[in-house]
A and B are shown apart, each in its own frame.
Chain A
């Protein structure tokens, strides 16, 4: 079983749609959670951190459920420019000093006109 599991997709949605991605992780001691975005043939870039209380950044909303070890990302009003692969990322263990992150395989989003 992978440490971070995501549905690879692809998710094909029309412009303006709302789309949600989910991710599960296996290490219950993990403390830090992120969503990264990776464009084709580019490096991953931080999209947003994920906090226990849930957090929002414009059209993007991230949620964390520690009991279920589940993370979600909601994108509202999808734009063509949102087309990318979204990586769910979890810290390796409970210590905030290791810094090692585990990357999911990513979920691919294609927004169509």
Chain B
């Protein structure tokens, strides 16, 4: 049973559309992350949050934005989708002070195609 949920699972959308990728977790984790991953390639951190009203940009520059109004919810928004945004977007969460714990828990991902 998944404790972190991403919707939609798949999305095909036209260029210029605004989209929001949803991510929710029921574990009460303070930290949440968004990663972008192209097929066969490595994960790139694009946004993260250490708690409510905290958001930071990740290592990979992204045109997307995020918000963290509630602990359990960390949506990612693209104001104007372009074909270069085609990728898989993975959301993850972790507890504060994860050291010997389980690291991150990932959602199933959203596979975005912009045509």
Contact = CB atoms under 8 A, between A and B. Distances in A.
A34 interface: yes
B29 to A, nearest CB: 9
Given A43-B90, A103-B42, A103-B43, A96 B103 contact: no
A82 B28 CA distance: 32
A61 interface: no
Contacts of B102: 46, 49
B42 A36 contact: no
B24 interface: no
Given A42-B108, A44-B43, A105-B42, A97 B96 contact: yes
A59 interface: no
Nearest to B45: A100
B113 to A, nearest CB: 13
A51 B90 CA distance: 27
Contacts of A32: 98-100, 103
- Interface range, B side: 20 to 34
Contact of A100 (B48, B97, B101): B48
A91 to B, nearest CB: 7
A44 B90 CA distance: 9
B12 interface: no
A17 interface: no
Given A32-B98, A96-B98, A97-B96, A46 B109 contact: no
B45, B95, B103 interface centre (most CB from chain A within 10 Å): B103
Given A46-B105, A97-B97, A99-B98, 19 more contacts: A36-B103, A41-B39, A41-B88, A43-B90, A43-B107, A44-B43, A46-B103, A49-B102, A49-B103, A96-B98, A96-B99, A99-B95, A99-B96, A100-B45, A101-B103, A101-B104, A103-B42, A104-B42, A105-B41
25 contacts: A31-B99, A32-B99, A32-B103, A41-B88, A42-B108, A43-B90, A43-B109, A44-B43, A45-B106, A46-B102, A46-B104, A49-B100, A87-B43, A91-B99, A99-B31, A99-B50, A99-B94, A99-B96, A100-B33, A100-B45, A100-B48, A101-B104, A103-B43, A104-B42, A105-B41
